[in-house]
Amino acid sequence: MYEFVTGPLAWLSFAIFFIGLIVRIGLYIRGLDWRLDRVTYGENVSYGIKGALRSILFWLFPYGTHSWRNNPWFTLWVFVMHIGLLLTPVFLLGHNILLKERWGISLWALPESVADGFTVIVILAVIFLVLRRIALPEVRLITTAYDYLLLLIAVAPFITGFLAYHRTPDYYFWLIAHIICGEIFLMAIPLTKLSHFILFFLSRAQLGMDYGIKRGGMKGKGLAW
């Protein structure tokens, strides 16, 4: 079973992840239409790039926008969760050993205590987000079972990995469960709302170009809008 989930199934999950993201990026860009969005994407490039970079950078830093500052606790948990979601899988020592074993590559690895701390933080952050969706009427109103499923898919690799790392009973079971959950997570990213992993940058760039050209730096430049 270990050979299968770290071999063919791993290749399949990475293929779906990378090919799926390329397709999502292509479809997003193809869907842009300056006539519909009233933004001259192909012209006024300098204004567009400036607006795009400004939009991305402000949203990448905690409390960099009014929206982040208006929800300080939500912002804190969202950021620590995403930092853990990104750093832990990529720089975990065990993952890099597996990469070296299977594909002959490895990256710098986090100290195991730090990776363990990030794992706990991600689990706590997901619990906070679930409780927030239950407690706040305005959030509960737009929450469906699908949203809870996505949170489960995101946190499952961390829970199973934590249990496997700490050598709980049935270590082999939790190790296999961890690998499978991680691969499900990878495959789900381009196929679900988790695609915001990459679409965040595209949508923020688009909105930044919108404001940078239409409503920002080019105001009063004789544009029809």
Residues 6 or more apart whose Cβ sits within 8 Å of residue 17: 186, 187, 189, 190
Inter-CA distances, 31 with 27, 191, 202, 203, Å: 6, 17, 12, 12
- pLDDT tens for the chain, 225 residues long, are 877 887 788 889 889 999 999 999 988 888 776 665 555 666 666 777 777 888 888 887 777 777 778 878 888 888 888 888 888 877 776 777 777 777 677 777 778 888 888 889 999 989 988 998 899 888 889 889 999 999 999 999 999 988 888 877 788 888 889 889 999 999 999 999 988 888 888 888 877 877 777 665 555 555 544
Residue type, 94: G
Phi, psi of 76 (to 5 degrees): -60, -50
Dist CA 60 CA 108 (whole Å)? 23
User: Which pLDDT score is estimated for 188?
Assistant: 94
Q: Which residue has the tokens 């490039």?
A: 45
CB burial of residue 69 (10 Å; 0-12, 13-18, 19+): exposed
CA–CA distance, 97 with 87 (Å, rounded to integer):
16
Domains in the chain with CATH codes: 2-215 (1.20.950)
Q: How far apart are CA 186 and CA 12, in angstroms?
A: 10
Give the other-Cβ count within 10 Å of 142's Cβ: 8
> How many Å apart are CA 114 and CA 83, to the nearest integer?
12
Residue 33, pLDDT score: 67
Distance CA 121, CA 159 (A): 11
pTM of the model as a whole: 0.80
The tokens describing 69, both together, are: 């500052």
Whether 63 contacts 73, CB under 8 Å: no
Nearest to 156 by CA among 191, 101, 110, 194: 194
